[in-house]
Amino acid sequence: MNCPFCNHNETKVVDSRPTDEGQAIRRRRECLKCFKRFTTYEKIEDIPLIIVKKDGNRQSYDRNKILNGILKACEKRPVSLNVIEETVDEIEKELYNSMEKEITSQYIGEAVMNKLKEIDEVSYVRFASVYRQFKDINTFMKELNKLLNED
């Protein structure tokens, strides 16, 4: 670590402590040449996720889009906000653990549907009807029948 005052490349760590609820480490350093002190922060590097849409467009991952979709599907259902946030956390963890830099929106949609199926079947059907763009009552019934046959 180069000193910001004299640009000397030898420093020593005087003090270290966690910050941001353990997501970063604050280090107090001292230059071994000019003896001035400065602070550095060490944190985990975020891997930017790119979402590939059905039409081929790419956009940055936005957690709020998943959250809003699940909130809308669970509207007026007995699903707590805490459960919804935990679900989004699980999906997000799965996305980042895949170590892929680009993820298709279809993959995310299927992940959301799988989680909703476990939480609340009505919310699952609501989400599926929008996600799969049911054209008529027959496609809607096919999805319901699949759901009923799994039980």
Count of structural domains within the chain: 2
Q: What is the pLDDT of residues 71-81, one digit of tens each?
A: 999 999 999 99
Distance between CA atoms of residues 123 and 84, nearest Å: 11
Q: Are residues 69 and 87 in the same domain?
A: yes
CA atoms within 13 A on the CB side of 58: 6
Q: Is 76 found in the same domain as 32?
A: no
Give the model's confidence band at 145: pLDDT under 50 very low, under 70 low, under 90 confident, else very high.
confident
3-class secondary structure, 28: strand
Assess whether 30 and 56 both reside in one domain: no
The answer to whether residue 54 sits within a structural domain is yes
Rounded Cα gap, residues 77 and 66, in angstroms:
17
Pick from 127, 126, 125: which is nearest to 147 by CA?
Answer: 125
Q: What is the mean pLDDT of residues 55-60?
A: 95
Report whether 111 contacts 94 (CB < 8 A). Answer: yes
Query: What pLDDT shows up at residue 151?
Result: 61
One domain for residues 105 and 139? yes
pLDDT of residue 59: 95
Q: Contact at 8 Å (CB) between 90 and 115?
A: yes
Cα separation, 135 vs 33, whole angstroms: 73
Q: Look up the domain containing 59 and give its range.
A: 50-150
Residues 18 and 63 in one domain: no
Give the per-residue pLDDT at 108.
Answer: 95
pLDDT in tens, 83-97: 999 999 999 999 988
d(CA 11, CA 14): 9
Indicate whether 68 and 83 sit together in one domain: yes
